[in-house]
Amino acid sequence: MAVAGTLYTYPENWRAFKALIAAQYSGAKIKVLSTPPQFHFGQTNKTPEFLKKFPVGKVPAFEGEDGFCIFESNAIAHYVSNEELRGTTQEAASQVLQWVSFADSDIVPPASTWVFPTLGIMQYNKQATEYAKEEVKRILSLLDSHLKTRTFLVGERITLADITVVCTLLWLYKQVLEPSFRQPYENVNRWFVTCVNQPQFKAILGDLKLCEKMAQFDGQEIYSPPPPPRFSLKWPFCLGKWEAGCVASSLHHSWTYIRSPAAALINFKGFMRGYLLALPCKKPTLAYIISSPL
């Protein structure tokens, strides 16, 4: 019996697209609440009624007709999928999970750093953006190599791996991957276009227009940092709570601006853990991020 229920989100949420596309394949019946008065993001998801069902107050969030509630986009997409999307063998299911995890750990951080300033969501930092561009090139090269002899990421049919990675790359392809930038990655481009032109994808994404000219940054640069000085600190040198409103870079060993004094634990890609040291002051603070093996 197909899953049925309600998905709470905000309009054009690429994370929600994962579950909605999966539902197109599995036959799950999903009602979307994303606009007032049914759902007002930032208000409805902070009410006691909503938090009783979804304690973290995040969207997308899914409530089944049977009362089953679940949050986190990957978990929702998995729940509304069928066996074919999840992987029909233990090996295939593990590979699907591998690419879903890869999308979150490797693609989301640089994609957000590069794309968000062009949408006015966050301010532009030159060093962070240049690093993000190089990371995107690394990711596209890796995917291009994998897809050289494959039509899809896992097996011969579309799975949650393809759905998740396509949705994670969506804003890159729409906003900044102009033809000259994406041209070297022919296999990725072929795979991406193949996926988004499937009826199940088009039912959610519509007719997708690829970027023709790299979007410019909608805002001014916060700070263009100098090369970090050479110094050493005894490990661990700083522990503390993350304060709401802090803006921190995920770059290894780099200067960054934060908007309030704090000491924050940051998880880096790979087997690294880092701490951000912020000096107490009444204005944006220049801080140094240093990382050390676990």
Range(s) for CATH 3.40.30.10 in the chain? 4-80
Which CATH number is associated with domain 4-80? 3.40.30.10
Residue 6 corresponds to which tokens in the numbers above? 């309600």
- What's 248-285 look like in SS3? CCCCCCEEEEECCCCCEEEEECCCEEEEEECCCCCCCE
253 — pLDDT class (breaks 50, 70, 90): very low
d(CA 53, CA 64): 11
pLDDT (0 to 100) of residue 179: 96
d(CA 162, CA 99): 8
The pLDDT tens digits of the residues spanning 31-47 come to: 999 999 999 999 999 99
CA–centroid distance for 286 within its chain: 26
CA–centroid distance for 265 within its chain: 19
d(CA 241, CA 266): 11
d(CA 192, CA 241): 40
Range(s) for CATH 1.20.1050.10 in the chain? 89-205
pLDDT at 19 over 50: yes
Say which range, 93-107, 122-136, 256-270, has the weakest mean pLDDT: 256-270
What is the rounded average pLDDT of the residues 186-198?
Answer: 98
pLDDT (0 to 100) of residue 121: 81
- State whether residue 34 is helix, strand or coil: coil
**Which CATH architecture best describes the domain 89-205?**
Up-down Bundle (1.20)
Supply the pTM of this predicted model.
Answer: 0.76
Phi/psi for 60 (5° steps) reads: -70, 150
pLDDT (0 to 100) of residue 85: 98
d(CA 187, CA 239): 44
pLDDT (0 to 100) of residue 120: 84
Q: Can you list the pairs that 132-137 forms with residues at least 24 positions away whose Cβ atoms lie under 8 Å?
A: 135/106, 135/109, 135/110, 136/110, 136/111, 136/172, 136/177
Residue 280 corresponds to which tokens in the numbers above? 């107490």
pLDDT (0 to 100) of residue 246: 33
The pLDDT tens digits of the residues spanning 236-250 come to: 333 333 333 333 333
Whole-number average pLDDT of the chain: 80
292 — pLDDT class (breaks 50, 70, 90): very low
The pLDDT tens digits of the residues spanning 118-136 come to: 888 888 888 999 999 999 9
217 — pLDDT class (breaks 50, 70, 90): confident
